[in-house]
Structure 1
Amino acid sequence: MKTRIASVLIVTFLFCGATYSQVLIGPIAGVNYSWTSFGDKDLKDDYEVSPVVGYHVGGHLAFKVRKRFFLHSSIIYSTKGKNMKADDDDLRLNLRYKYIEMPIVYTAYFKGTIGQKQFKYSLGVGPNVSYWLGGKGTFENTDTHEFHNGPSSVIPVKIVFNRDPETATENEMIVQKPNRVQLGLNFTAGFLFEPARYREVVLTLRYELGHSYLSRESDGVFSSTFPTYSETQKIRNQGFRVSLAYLIDMKVEDRKKGKSTIDRRRPK
C-alpha cells in the first residue's frame, strides 16, 4: 500500500511539473542531524538514544504553482542513524542508515526587508518518501566482551535484509521483514537569494517526522554467538536537515519569446 502511495506521489509531481510556468533545477546538498524514536514507549526508560550527524546530496526541482507558491522536491542520497546505549548490559549500538529519498514540499514565499534590502523567506509542509538501502555500524555488549575472540569487544556490523535470522554471521544484523518504503512528514523554513538573473540559492531548514516503522514484524537479529540482544525495528526516524540548493530557471526561453512578440506588435 505504501509503495503505491509513494508511486502516485512521484508520478503526479513529475507530470504536473510540465504545466507550470516556471521550473527551476539544480544540485542540493547539506547536513542531517537525526535520531530514532521507539514505538514502544516503555523502551524509552531502558535505552538512551542520541542523535548522529549525516549528510545528503542529490538533485532538486521546483515548480511555480501560483504567484508566491512553489512545489519543491529532491532526489537525494541520505544518511541517518542513531547512537544507543544501556548500562544494564553494557550495550553500545551505533548505526548509520542509508536511504534514497524524495521529499515533496508545498512552499509559500514571503517578502521581507532589512533596511532597504529585500529578501524572501518561506514556510512549507509536505510528505517525505524514503527507500531504505541498508546500513552499518558497531555493536558491543556483555556477550561481545565474553565471547568475541577478536582484539576488541566492539563488533562492526552490516544491516542485511530478507534472510533467515538463523544464518546471521557475527558481523551481520538481519532484518527479516523490513519496511523499506517509508513515509514521513516535512516541515520547512527557508531563505531565498538571487545572486544573478534566473539564478536562485535556496537555504532550507527541515524537520522530518517519521511515520513508518523500520519494521513492524521483525527485529534486527545478531549472530547466535550473542543471543541476549535483538534490536527492535519498531522505531521511526526523526531529525533536522539543513540544505543548500543552487537552482537555474529552465523556462527562460518561454519568457524571451513572449517579450519578443510584444516588441514586434508595439507601434512605432
Structure 2
Amino acid sequence: MKTRISSVLILTFIFCSTAFAQVLVGPVAGANFSWTSFSDKDLKDEYNVSPVFGYHVGGHLAFKVRKRFFLHTSLIYSTKGKNLKSEAGDLSLKLRYKYIEMPIVYTAYFKGHIGEKEFKYSLGVGPNISYWLGGKGTFENADTHEFHNGPSGVIPVDIVFGKDPGSATENEMVIQRPNRVQFGLNFTAGFLFEPVRYREVVLTLRYELGHSYLSRESDGVFSPTFPSFSESQKIRNQGFRISLAYLIDLKVEERKRGKSTIDRKRPK
C-alpha cells in the first residue's frame, strides 16, 4: 500500500508540473547530519546514540503554485546512520544506511535586501518518502573479541533483509521484516539567489523528523555466534540536511516563442 502511495505521488508531481506557469529543474547535492531515536525509554537509558555525517545527490524539481508559493521535490540518493554505544562501554555499533528519497516541500518565499542587492528567503513544510536500500557498518562487543578469528574484535557487517535470522553469518545483521518504505516530515528554511536571468541557486537547510520505524516486527539479529545482542528496529531516523540546487527555468523557451509570434503578427 505504501509503495502504491509513493508511486502515485511521484507520477502526480511529474505530470501536474506541466500545468504550472513556472517550472524549474536541476541538480541538487549536499551534506547530512543524522541519527536515530529509540521508542523504548529503557533503551534510551541503556545506549548512547551519536550522529554521523553523510551526503545526498540527485535531481530537483520546483514549480510555482501561487504568487509566492512553490512546491519543491527531489529524487535523491542519500546516506544516513548512527553510532551506538552502551553506557557500560562494552558494545559499539556503527551503521550507515542507504536510501532513495523524495522530499516534498510546500514553500513560501519572502523578499530581503542586502544593501541594493535583493534576495529571497523561504520557509517550508512537507512529507518525506524514503526507500531503504540497505547499509553496512561495524560491530564490537565482548563476544566478537572472544570468537572473532581476525586481528581485532571489530567486525564489518552488512544489513541483510528477509533472511532467516538463524542462518545469519558472522558479517551480517539480519532484519527479517524491515519497513523499507518510510515516511517522515520536513521543516525547511532557505535562500534563493538569481545569478543570471532564468537561473536560480537555492540553498536549503532541512530538519527531518522520522515517523516510520525501521521495523515494527523484527530486531537486527547477528550471527548465533554473538547471541548476547540484537538491535531493536523500533527506531526512527532524524537529522539535518543542507542542500544546494542549481535550477533552470524550463518554460523560458515557451515565453520566448510566444513573444516572437506576437512580434511577427504586430502590424507596422
TM-score normalised according to structure 1 size = 0.97
Contact 1:83 1:95 in 2 (8 A): yes
Maintained 8 Å contact 1:2/1:183: no
Match of 2:253 in 1: 253
Report the equivalent of 2:93.
Answer: 93
Aligned residue identity for 1:168: A
Quote the offset at 1:263 in angstroms: 3.1
CA distance in structure 2 between the aligned counterparts of 1:101 and 1:41, rounded to whole angstroms: 29
Partner Cα distance (2:211, 2:4) in 1: 16
Cα pair 1:30 1:244 within 8 Å, conserved: yes
**1:74-89 map, 5 Å:** 74-88=74-88
- 2:63 aligned counterpart, secondary structure: strand
Partner amino acid, structure 2, of 1:33: F
RMSD over aligned Cα atoms: 1.2
**Secondary structure of the structure 1 residue equivalent to 2:16:** helix
Q: Tell me if structure 1 keeps the 8 A contact 2:140–2:154.
A: yes
Letter of the aligned partner of 1:153 in structure 2?
G
In the aligned structure 2, how far is the partner of 1:117 from the partner of 1:252? 24
Deviation at 1:259, TM superposition (A): 2.1
User: Partner of 2:7 in structure 1?
Assistant: 7
What secondary structure is seen at the aligned counterpart in 1 of 2:246? Answer: strand
1: distance between equivalents of 2:61 and 2:41? Answer: 38
Aligned to 1:189: 189
Q: 5+ unaligned residues in a row in structure 2: which ranges?
A: none
- 1:223-238 paired onto structure 2 within 5 Å: 223-238=223-238
User: How do 1:203-214 residues align onto structure 2 when only pairs under 5 Å count?
Assistant: 203-214=203-214
Q: 1:70 offset after TM fit, Å?
A: 0.9
Tell whether the 8 Å contact from 2:162 to 2:175 is kept in structure 1 after alignment: yes
Cα distance per residue 1:43-81 (max 9 Å; x no partner): 110000000000000111111111111111111100000
Q: Does the 8 A contact of 1:190 with 1:205 survive in 2?
A: yes
SS in 2 for 1:240: strand
Q: Output the amino acid matched with 2:120.
A: K
Count of aligned pairs: 268
After superposition, where does 1:9-158 map in structure 2 within 5 Å?
9-88=9-88, 90-158=90-158
- Asked if structure 2 preserves the Cα contact closer than 8 Å seen for 1:127 and 1:183, the reply is yes
The change in CA–CA distance for 1:30 and 1:80 in structure 2 (over 3 A counts) is same
Task: Tell me how far 1:11 sits from its aligned partner.
Answer: 1.9
User: What does residue 218 of structure 2 align with?
Assistant: 218
Aligned partner letter, 1:27: P
5+ long unaligned stretches in structure 1: none
Q: More displaced, 34-43 or 204-213?
A: 34-43
Q: CA deviation at 1:87?
A: 3.6
How far residue 41 of structure 1 moved from its aligned partner, in angstroms, is 2.1
Q: Which amino acid aligns with 1:163?
A: K
* Amino acid in structure 1 at the alignment position of 2:36: T
Once the two structures are TM-superposed, the CA of residue 145 in structure 1 deviates from its matched residue by: 1.6
Query: With structure 2 as the length reference, what TM-score do the two structures score?
Result: 0.97
Moved more, 214-223 or 140-149: 140-149
Change (3 A) 1:10 1:100: same
Report the more deviating stretch, 254-263 or 96-105: 254-263
Q: Do the aligned partners of 1:62 and 1:70 also contact (CA within 8 Å) in 2?
A: yes
Q: Contact 1:76/1:102 (CA < 8 Å) preserved in 2?
A: yes
**1:264: Cα distance to partner?**
4.2
Q: Which residue of 2 aligns with 1:160?
A: 160
1:240 aligns with 2:240: yes
- Aligned partner of 2:206: which letter? R
